[in-house]
Amino acid sequence: MDRPKVVKYTPPECVEDYPLGAFQAGHLVQKNAGWRVFRPVIDHDKCIGCLRCFLVCPDGVIDKSGEKLEIDYDFCKGCGVCAYECKVNAIRMVKEGEEADE
């Protein structure tokens, strides 16, 4: 999976520690995983590889670089757009804390 990662960040201790002017691009210090009530789970046997889910995910958390699609659960918000848009219903929204298997 090739997705941006959270970096370790030490909060400033005094005013002088705050950046003036430019700051680091692509700087992530916190995951968004806590937003999720349901998580998308891809059934790779059903998936026909159309990449619709990859295309329409507002958060870009579906990675297509590997053999199978992979979801970056650190940043998936569980919106369900991917599952709704999948024509062959290969994505199920599973309640967090519950098992994906039937």
Tell me: does residue 41 bind another protein (CB under 8 A): no
Q: What is d(CA 62, CA 69) in angstroms, rounded to the nearest whole number?
A: 7
Query: CB 96 → another protein: shortest distance, Å?
Result: 13
Nearest 5°: phi and psi at 84? -65, -35
Tell me: does residue 79 bind ligand SF4 (CB under 6 A): yes
Binding partner of residue 63 among another protein, ligand SF4, none, CB under 5 to 8 Å per kind? Answer: another protein
Query: Nearest 5°: CA angle at 69, between 98 and 81?
Result: 65
Q: What is d(CA 30, CA 81) in angstroms, rounded to the nearest whole number?
A: 23
Tell me: does residue 41 bind ligand SF4 (CB under 6 A): no
Tell me: does residue 81 bind ligand SF4 (CB under 6 A): yes
Tell me: does residue 20 bind another protein (CB under 8 A): no
Cβ closest to another protein, residue 5 vs residue 46? 5
Nearest to 72 by CA among 61, 58, 57: 61
Q: Which H or E run contains 62?
A: strand 62-63
Site residues for another protein per CB under 8 A = 2-4, 6, 9, 11, 23-32, 35, 50-52, 54-60, 63-65, 75, 77-81, 83-85
